[in-house]
């Protein structure tokens, strides 16, 4: 396992676990649907046959399935982004939020929600478009500032400017919330992170983003390994450092922008799941990137299930659950890492 890449057996095991969790999340909720009826609905949807369990059909196909698929895709995307950022910046605390992309995307989406930015005929395009636009804008701003400060685009400069930018964006979001009037509840709920209300358009958007950007990142496994050892070492073994860095940053910002536009700010996924994956499969990105995707999807599915069912009929936002679980897990990981280092 440590010598090779992510083997076919590993893929199969992870896929089986992911499918089992997906099925569980589809069955459970404010109304629990028996597994047999769930499978009957899916079978009928695929074959076009009529089914006795038609009462469950709309719950499963219109509400739960798109939500669960969005949760899995969002978890995989955020976790993959986190793993790639941690390798690129050689910093286990790095992810989209450290870079400032999440905060930038959040600011764009909050502005769209608060001031009702819409695109005629495309109901979600306003928030999504603004989040992606602001994610790109933030990235370009952060990179330009980092470049002005340090022509080699060193990771330290990027992280430092990313943290400063995150603080600024968070303050601006608070300002937007103050001026959002009657929309304050939707903006606040969204800033806490929630994938309730996801639909198949969101699924398609996230799937395309993950397919394109995920392929790009998975093809850069060796380059990320070189970066994770050291940027200078990457240059010395022949990595086109600036080109790879820019490619990874753009792919990550697209993934985060799309996730934020659909589900708001879901903290800790990009930090904690790559850590957990690294503990199991080691730091080699040939195994770490696929493992992080599976772990992220499974972790967010379970967190979303808890958010939906813990206090039913009240639904918590998934961001609250991931923050609670993630912060505790992060403290444990950090403690063990530090203890191990002594």
Partner 1 sequence: MLQADKITVRYGTRTALDSLSFSLEEHQWLMLVGPNGAGKSTLIRALAQNIPYTGTFTLFGQQLNAMKPAERAKLIGFLSQSHSVQYAYTVEEIVRLGRYAHTRGFLSHHDEDGEAAVSHALELTGMTEYRNTDILSLSGGELQRAFLAQVFAQQPQLLVLDEPANHLDLPYQQRIFELIDDWRKQPGHAVLSVVHDLGLAKRFGTHAVLLNEGRCVSRGECNDVLSIENLSNVYRMDVHGWMREQLKLWE
Please give the residues from 233 up to 292 whose contact with partner 1 meets the rule CB under 8 A: 233, 235-241, 278, 282-284
Cα–Cα dist 159/153, whole Å: 10
Q: Does 230 bind partner 1 (CB under 8 A)?
A: yes
Q: Does 3 bind partner 1 (CB under 8 A)?
A: yes
Size of the site for partner 1 (CB under 8 A): 27
Q: Does 232 bind partner 1 (CB under 8 A)?
A: yes
- Taking residues 83 to 102 in sequence order and writing x for each that binds partner 1 by CB under 8 A, - otherwise, the string is -------xxx----------
Using CB under 8 A, pick the residue from 229, 276, 320, 327 that binds partner 1.
229
Output DSSP code: residue 61: I
For helices 101-114 and 241-263, the axis angle rounded to 10 degrees is 30
Closest by CA to 83, choosing from 255, 337, 338, 231, is 255
Min dist CB 318 to partner 1, Å, is 29
Min dist CB 9 to partner 1, Å, is 20
Q: Does 1 bind partner 1 (CB under 8 A)?
A: no
Q: Does 82 bind partner 1 (CB under 8 A)?
A: no
Closest by CA to 177, choosing from 165, 188, 193, is 188
Min dist CB 162 to partner 1, Å, is 18
Please give the residues from 140 up to 169 whose contact with partner 1 meets the rule CB under 8 A: 151-152
Asked if omega into 313 is within 30° of 0 (cis), the reply is yes
Nearer CB in complex with partner 1: 91/201:
91
Which residues on neighbouring strands pair with residue 122, listed in sequence order? Answer: 119
User: What 3-state class would DSSP assign to 50?
Assistant: coil
- What CA dihedral angle connects 268, 256, 114 and 64, to 10 degrees? -80
Nearer CB in complex with partner 1: 54/236:
236
CB 171 within 8 A of CB 144: no
Overall residue count recorded for the chain in this entry: 342
Name the residues that contact partner 1, by CB under 8 A: 2-3, 90-92, 151-152, 222, 225-226, 228-230, 232-233, 235-241, 278, 282-284, 341
């Amino acid at each position: 396992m440590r010598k090779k890449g992510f083997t076919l057996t590993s893929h199969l095991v992870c896929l089986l676990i992911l499918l089992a969790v997906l099925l569980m999340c589809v069955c459970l909720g404010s109304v629990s649907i028996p597994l047999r009826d769930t499978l009957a609905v899916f079978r009928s949807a695929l074959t076009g046959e009529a089914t006795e369990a038609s009462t469950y059909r709309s719950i499963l196909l219109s509400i739960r399935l798109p939500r669960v698929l969005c949760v899995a895709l969002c978890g995989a995307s955020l976790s993959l982004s986190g793993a790639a950022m941690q390798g690129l910046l050689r910093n286990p605390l790095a992810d989209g939020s450290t870079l400032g992309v999440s905060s930038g995307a959040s600011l764009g989406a909050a502005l769209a929600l608060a001031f009702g930015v819409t695109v005629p005929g495309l109901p979600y395009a306003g928030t999504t478009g603004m989040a992606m636009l602001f994610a790109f804008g933030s990235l370009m701003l952060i990179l330009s500032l980092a470049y002005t400060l340090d022509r080699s685009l060193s990771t330290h400069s990027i992280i430092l400017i990313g943290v400063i930018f995150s603080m600024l964006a968070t303050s601006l979001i608070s300002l937007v919330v103050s001026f959002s009037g009657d929309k304050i509840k939707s903006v606040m709920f969204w800033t806490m992170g929630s994938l309730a209300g996801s639909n198949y358009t969101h699924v398609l958007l996230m799937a395309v983003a993950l397919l394109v950007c995920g392929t790009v990142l998975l093809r850069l496994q060796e380059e990320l390994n070189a970066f994770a050892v050291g940027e200078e070492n990457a240059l010395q073994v022949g990595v086109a450092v600036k080109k790879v860095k820019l490619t990874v940053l753009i792919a990550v910002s697209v993934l985060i922008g799309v996730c934020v536009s659909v589900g708001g700010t879901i903290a800790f996924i990009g930090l904690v799941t790559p850590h957990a994956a690294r503990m199991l499969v080691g730091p080699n990105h040939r195994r770490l990137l696929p493992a992080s995707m599976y772990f992220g999807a499974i972790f967010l599915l379970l967190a979303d299930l808890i958010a939906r069912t813990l206090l039913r009929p009240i639904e918590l936002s998934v961001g609250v659950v991931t923050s609670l679980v993630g912060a505790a897990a992060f403290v444990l990981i950090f403690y063990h890492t530090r203890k191990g280092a002594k």
